[in-house]
Structure 1
């Protein structure tokens, strides 16, 4: 969103002022960069250990940890995470606690983020969760924290990360606080926030209506899921019509509500992207029965799509009890979050699991009638006291900032977070009083839960029953889980805390959560949660495989209501087609084939648009040179494709010409799967009003005129960007993955520092809504990658050592480490690495061994 980019730019500007005095130091003194690099070999005494722990690392620096107890295993993981990525961990905990201003100083963007997160109360919820967790989970979190603190003990701040040296040139940085187990729990709130769903579309409907003023036209921009062509995850023989999502009254007509919702958009855009946001955030996963694989055992593939960053959000790890038993039950490897113990996605000795974003609607905006002077909000005609608390935000080098947080039964009021007054214009209500209209946010993650328990339950799961039990604990974020076992079982399980919404047939808006809801009418209140046993699940489907790639979970109207706002399913259907083709051809599926499927770059946009583009009028021979690229195009987005580059420019221009004149800037099309569905429907209606570009006075354009102008403008754009000869254009020349450091990587930072912390940009294949989901934002003016498969993993349940994995950057968060970016080239070119799991395979791959022993 433009406002989010503006806030990020402000933070970058602050950092630029901090690093000026360090540029020369970084340029001439490598010791500044090398000092934080940890020891990966030898012996270290570590406080809190009960016995010796071995940490074996391979050529890519991936740690495999061996211990005799769960306590030592997770203590060692905390130690290793702190070795490799402590600044990342510290940055995350400052963000999730609403304390970023304490780390980076006086800055509007940091303060804005702190205000929003304090209002939402992430840290407060995490503290409440602590008492709900199983005793063994609390023990694991405490051990992990002890390991982090053992690493911090006695080390000066500049030995923990070069970032502290940079920030310390202008700020008075205290020694980092000891790690607290709740710091880990708070990170789960960030994970839930970035992977929430429907929130953006709910807000988008209301803001779109504010300019379009026509419900039917709004509906055209949110087309129904194509159940007949893009199959859901769980096969269903019975379907029903989805709930009516039409606005039936005038609730959203007032400029008062429009203003409140615009403030919501600006406020919530201030939250930093820790995992990602927007259309490109999703994942691919599939699991194949042993009857279709080369090994005769199941095979599982997963590649989560998140924002790109340096370092990448996941880090690889193996956690091994030397003797697996009740006291030490862990034998697991996969991808972890620095700051949280355990493994989030991976496999143990009996079971592999993958995760994709389900897309369930777990947030609702409630429109509240409030009286600030009286401290009340209206519910069923009766004033009810607001819950009010005061938050004090400390600012490094500045004065503390105090904010008042007000909440209704639905959640915190978010429409005034970034304003001093926080008051929408007032209007009469049915009781004759004049009240303000404000907006609160209901979100499942603001209810304390036991997701942390689920992380360890998955790590020890053996079968479908164990997965279902773990999923019942995995309350936020709502994710799809695919799994496979070494004894031949495959399956899918939907977890998550999903709100139950009552059907209101005579209200001013639908009650399905697709539009903001009237908070003064209790019929719209959430009625509880969908019982875990009613969540969709399937084990060993007849066709021998399952695909979960953010598409609809079940058929329309089948099972509990999750949402109507699914990803359009182009990726999931393409994966299904590739699996069906392999099975029909008798080609056994193995890790190499699964990896090639993850890299598939067939373009569904081209299948829809190219025939129409080839039939559109062409202005001149100059434009025709570009159009001719499309005639012989294989309709794939390979990095070396000239046609893919031209088509992307045409697509972005088409969206601009068709929609920018009608929509607020924040709602300009990002070009993802929803917009392909919109345009696909419009292509059959050449005189639809959307085609008219209202910026051209006294001219009413039709479809073919817009297509023709898009072809012409795209030719001119790429001539400027890539040269006059279309045959020399390359998609990878403009579609570049350029991971950035979250604090020091932006354009406002001096080049020597950016060169240090930002990896070399990579030309990549793929694109939005493509299986190789290297997404880009069509409204941004750039084709650069915004989100991508930050990891790729394939698990062969017949031979776990034959599994493969890769992460986007590397295991280390230290820019001076060889492991900071040593997987990036392989990731960009589609390579993966062997994933050793057995002790013999780990030892064979090991290049360094670090022994951690109890300190006296």
Structure 2
């Protein structure tokens, strides 16, 4: 998989100034970092309120808001989000608007990010969405913005966040601009971007083809989903999507100019900061069990989205309650929100709980365009492109003008980093049809009403309500599992899913898994699947539903969504555990569900162990690691020596087997796809993939590579953790280290890193394990790249017995006691009570703040 790590901005120029400020007296340092901490008790006037709003906070600082009207509720949420996390909100809105250079000044990575996001036009699309939204949604977004701005009013940047003080050492920091509803809508584009499905796989197929020169051999690295062993979410789906067969044009993916355009597109899109997740490990677990099999007699629902780790964490816990729930004020909801957007994204209300996981539907396509000057080729004719000029302002520097070109398929992304100046060539004898460029079509670049869907979920009461919300949910395409207090469980697939024709005569598959010829309309999208044809289920006979990024339906039973689902090892482990508990008559409860969320059985070990133990190792020192494996329980616990050794063997095996065959930047990440590839190769000892082509004159087979991986891993861990293999532990290698997205990287002075980064914690689990603390096998490190960003378990029989935990904490202020106070519990697998009813919230209250209408009215 291409190395698409979240971009850490390099602000090295700031370093010396930061040290001068923060290494001053303890009094000065304390004043600087504590100055932005919010008031959480007493009274504060909030302009615009119709009546007082109560904000109680529990021992983790989680706010529970109670208001008389919906407008007051979201106005108060905006105020509280700004209290806790405004810099995070401001950073996000600068990223999503392509204005990061305005915030941080002259920085190459910031400028590259701005160029790409301006080209994609996230903010422009968000502006177009405003008029499409329902009046209530507009009212909620407007009220939220008013609450944010009420908090900002009269405060200097240094009073809002310590990050502004630090940035002020390098650039002029103006008062933050007022928050707008479009700032909230633009955040949905970032969410959709990071969860956009098989984007990487599509470009990887085309790039690897140029190296191996054979479609069939490329597809060996993308094996079919193993649906017989790893069951889909639903046993049967809606009517199968039927596409017409069209005659299409062939493409030569080995063409050097085409590969250059693909590489340029890949480099450009890698410049986008990842605000939620990136690469290997992006996914989630969710499941729901019917009341027939639970201790409470009502459903139990679990969810733990696997996203990037950061400080502060991605989610902000909150409860939003109308003092009297009615049609005019319908909210009584609690869960996980995004700072910068009103409402709750995942959680429960008084009637229904829901969880989200990435459906992995193919919602993006790269279209190869034949460009001559300001036109592209389409069905033998020249079609003008739309061209606009974007001006990027740089704090303390000169403006940068960017020419953005759009075809009928979407923005051209292959020329972004060179400003489009190098690709305005005319046709020549060598290129009579024009020069190759790459355009991106993506469902989220079409204005939509996903914001309406999120509020609809907040007040949903039954399956019909969930289906209605899903019909409005355009991007990202997510699996929704849900349960109701009256005993129903269900699944619903939402999202815009493109329909593609099956094109006859195509050199590569035309199902969206490979780039498409933009000059031939046979490859254009043919609309979208109707919402009523998207897979759904209610109260299945087996009594539970598991949605963990695996295939949604059997491939011959449901609509075509993608070929690139997660391969289902996590989902099957969850299914097997639930089925075994039910068969044994064990009643499932919150505690057993939490235990399952922490399951660390390693499917890689289950598949590879017989072959690894059969390899002879003669040297007594070299075989120490193999001896660890003989007694291993196959669980990747943090304190396991065998788990550490196996991880080193796995990464070494991938390096020895594939790195010589694949282009730079596309080395195996080691996730579920690569497990499926290698497991299939074990039955073919002489597969060409086994041969290490760097060893001239030698052709290796399976056993030689397995032996070398075992011996090499033993040597590497000896250097990393000592000669005695029994002293190794997986947690020493496999740590979760949340970093601040702007100031937490290695270029920052240690004093700054200590301020904004909570510190690394050892954890168990790993890639494609239920406790999905994933790591990238191509990175040279075992550190956690993505992980459960939160965990929640909801008991629909007693909502107050539900539990939750966040990755770090509810606050975005490094000096707050709630900046990372949940990290320890998260790492050890424990959680916190989740109060919901008024009595439980009141009993849990540690602080109480009253927001009152401003004297003299509005």
The C-alpha deviation readout for 1:604-651, integer Å capped at 9, x for no partner, is: 000111110111131511111111000000000000000000000000
The equivalent residue for 1:83 is 83
Partner of 2:330: 329
Deviations 1:90-126 (A, max 9, x none): 0000000000000010000000000000000000000
1:369 equivalenced with 2:370 (yes/no)? yes
Is residue 408 of structure 1 aligned with residue 404 of structure 2?
Answer: no
Say whether 1:47 aligns with 2:44: no
Shift of 1:490: 0.4
What pairs up with 1:144-163 in 2 under 5 angstroms? Answer: 144-163=144-163
Does the aligned pair in 2 maintain the 1:208–1:663 contact within 8 Å? yes
CA–CA distance in structure 1, aligned partners of residues 574 and 426 of structure 2: 52
Superposition map of 1:659-808 within 5 A: 659-808=658-807
Structure 1 residue 13: Cα displacement = 3.5
From the superposition, tell whether residues 154 and 339 of structure 1 become closer, same or farther in structure 2 (CA, over 3 Å). Answer: same
Does structure 2 retain, via aligned residues, the 8 Å contact 1:89–1:338? yes
Distance in structure 1 (CA, Å) of the matches to 2:471 and 2:16: 48
Shift in Å, 1:236: 2.2
Matches within 5 A, 1:32-181: 32-181=32-181
CA positional deviation for 1:424 = 5.8
Q: Which residue of 1 is the match for residue 285 of structure 2?
A: 284
* Structure 2 counterpart SS, 1:109: helix
Report the RMSD for the aligned CA atoms in angstroms. 1.9
C-alpha distance in 2 between matches for 1:224 and 1:852: 56
Q: CA deviation at 1:421?
A: 4.8
Distance 2:556 2:12 in 1: 50
SS of corresponding position for 1:565: coil
Distance 2:504 2:669 in 1: 33
Q: 2:653 & 2:382 partners in 1: Cα distance?
A: 50
Contact 1:376 1:385 in 2 (8 A): yes
* 2:270 match: 269
Cα contact 1:248–1:510 (8 A) shared by 2: no
Inter-partner Cα distance in structure 2 for 1:639 and 1:517: 45
Whether contact under 8 Å (2:56, 2:63) holds in the other structure is yes
Relative to structure 1, the CA distance from residue 237 to residue 336 in structure 2 (aligned partners, 3 Å threshold; closer, same or farther) is: closer
The answer for the alignment partner of 1:652 in structure 2 is 651
SS of 2:66's equivalent in the other structure is strand
- Equivalent position SS for 2:621: helix
Number of the residue aligned with 1:8: 7
- Aligned counterparts, 1:570-609, within 5 A: 570-609=569-608
- Change beyond 3 A, Cα 1:465–1:396: same
CA contact (8 A) 2:261 2:436 kept: yes
Distance 2:259 2:274 in 1: 25
Per-residue CA deviation, residues 405-448 of structure 1 (Å, 9 max, x unaligned), is 00001000000111145546979799982511100000000000
- Structure-2 separation of matches of 1:332 and 1:2: 39
Aligned partners of 2:242 and 2:716: how far apart in 1?
A: 42
User: Is 1:500 aligned to residue 465 of structure 2?
Assistant: no
Which whole-Å CA distance do the structure 1 matches of 2:241 and 2:25 have between them? 62
Q: How many residues align?
A: 851
Measure the CA separation in 2 of the matches of 1:293 and 1:255. 59
Gaps of 5+ in 2: none
* Cα deviation 1:338-392 (Å, max 9, x = unaligned): 00000000000000000000000000000000112xx111100000000000000
Answer whether contact 1:479 1:495 (CA < 8 A) is retained.
Answer: yes
Q: Determine the C-alpha separation between the residues in 2 that align with 1:466 and 1:271.
A: 35
> Structure 2 vs 1, CA of residues 421 and 97 (structure 1 numbering), >3 Å: closer, same or farther?
closer
How far is the alpha carbon of 1:18 from its aligned partner? 5.5
Q: Provide closer, same or farther for how the CA distance between residues 429 and 536 of structure 1 changes in structure 2, counting only shifts above 3 A.
A: farther
Structure 1 residues not aligned, in runs of 5+: none
Measured in 1, the distance between the counterparts of 2:235 and 2:813 equals 46
CA distance in 2, matches of 1:338, 1:148: 11
Rounded to whole Å, the distance in 1 between the matches of 2:25 and 2:384 is: 56
Displacement of 1:217 after TM fit?
1.4
3-state SS of 1:91 partner:
helix
Distance 1:118 1:539 in 2: 42
What secondary structure is seen at the aligned counterpart in 2 of 1:779?
Answer: coil
Distance 1:805 1:429, change over 3 A: farther
Q: CA deviation at 1:242?
A: 12
Distance 2:239 2:473 in 1: 28
Distance in 2 (CA, whole Å) between partners of 1:430 and 1:763 is 61
Cα deviation for residue 806 of structure 1 reads 0.3
**TM-score, normalising length from structure 1?**
0.97
The answer to whether the Cα contact below 8 Å between 2:122 and 2:445 also exists between their aligned partners in 1 is yes
Q: Aligned to 1:665, what secondary structure does the other structure show?
A: coil
1:304 aligned partner: 305
The answer (yes or no) to whether the contact 2:44–2:852 under 8 Å persists in 1 is: yes
Q: CA deviation at 1:15?
A: 4.8
Q: How far apart are residue 16 of structure 1 and its match?
A: 3.4
1:544 aligned partner: 543
Indicate the residue corresponding to 1:635 in structure 2. Answer: 634
Q: How far does the alpha carbon of each residue in 1:43-96 deviate from its partner, in whole angstroms, 9 at most, with x for none?
A: 001111111000000000000000000000000000000000000000000000
SS at structure 2 position matched to 1:137: helix
Aligned residues of 1:285 and 1:355 also touching (Cα < 8 A): yes
What does residue 202 of structure 1 align with?
202
Conserved? CA contact 2:237–2:536, under 8 Å: no
